[in-house]
Amino acid sequence: MLTWNPNLLIRDEESSYNKNLFCIPKHYEEDLERVFIPHGLILDRTERLARDIMQDMGSHPIVALCVLKGGYKFFADLLDQIKALNQNGDKSVPVTVDFVRIKSYCNESPAEKISFIGEELSTLSGKYFFYHFQDIIETGRTMKALLSKIKDKKPRMVKVVSVLVKRTCQSPGYRPDYTGFEIPDQSVVGYALDYNEYFRDLNHICILKDNAEEKYRM
């Protein structure tokens, strides 16, 4: 079983869960090593993040930006929790949403890898609490480039929420404002995290077998 310290860090030596204890789509059964973070644990952590965000933001409206495609599940679940707090808590605030998609291009700097879809980012100008929802942060370079473009629009405050942060020697040390789990340098899929567009339909975050990569390589 996994044990969690106050920083929600999963240590390198910690094990995961036998996949036979969980409901795994049959078309993925042979491709997954183990279940790394069960869906129920993700949802429980998401509820805690929603409470932290609502407590920290005061009375300011939320402008929520989802990074597609990998962030859509986390984005939807976290906004559902915020909506529940709006309905049942002592205070409520309006929430607006927008979407951005990041595409990578070969042989270009990280800042040039970012293309936007959705409304003009100029709508962020002057906004107080702008929350940027990300699936996983690995090297952090693309995230820093995206934040640079966002801050050009001069929102009054920017916060980044990521369900996963991966420990990797390539990381320049960037840390989001809110983190679901910090994980070792493992190849993980599920909960909308993909490998060549596959595994987004998997509820749990799982460890991908090494020999499965060739099967799904385009």
pLDDT tens by residue, 6-43 = 457 787 766 789 999 999 999 999 999 999 999 999 99
Q: What is the DSSP letter of 22?
A: S
CATH 3.30.390.50 is the classification of domain 41-183 = no
**Res 118 pLDDT > 60:** no
Distances (CA, A) of 101 to 70, 81, 152, 174: 10, 23, 18, 20
Mean pLDDT on 178-198: 92
Residues in the chain: 218
Query: What pLDDT shows up at residue 125?
Result: 67
User: What is the chain's mean pLDDT, rounded?
Assistant: 82
Any idea where the domains of the chain sit in the sequence? 41-183
pTM: 0.85
Q: Is 21 exposed, middle or buried (0-12, 13-18, 19+ CB in 10 A)?
A: exposed
Region label for 208, one of left (φ > 0), alpha (ψ between -120 and 50) or beta (otherwise): beta
Q: Which pLDDT score is estimated for 201?
A: 94
What's the pLDDT score for residue 68?
Answer: 85
The rounded distance, in Å, linking the Cα atoms of 71 and 86 is 22
- As a whole number, mean pLDDT of residues 164-183 equals 83
* Contact by Cβ (8 Å): 49, 39: no
Q: How many CB atoms lie within 10 A of CB 169?
A: 6
The phi-psi region of residue 45 (left if phi > 0; otherwise alpha if psi is between -120 and 50; otherwise beta) is alpha
Please give the structure tokens belonging to residue 170.
């390539």
Q: What is the full DSSP assignment across 172-217?
A: -S---SEEEEEE-S--EEBTTB-BTTBSTT-SSEEEEPTTHHHHH-
Chain segment 75-100, per-residue pLDDT in tens: 999 999 999 999 998 888 899 888 88
Q: Position 15: which residue type?
A: S
| HSE (side-chain half, CA atoms, 13 Å) at 131 | 26
Distance of alpha carbon 32 from alpha carbon 211, whole angstroms:
10
Q: For 123-152, write each residue's pLDDT tens digit.
A: 666 666 566 777 888 877 778 777 887 888
Residue 120 has a pLDDT of 56
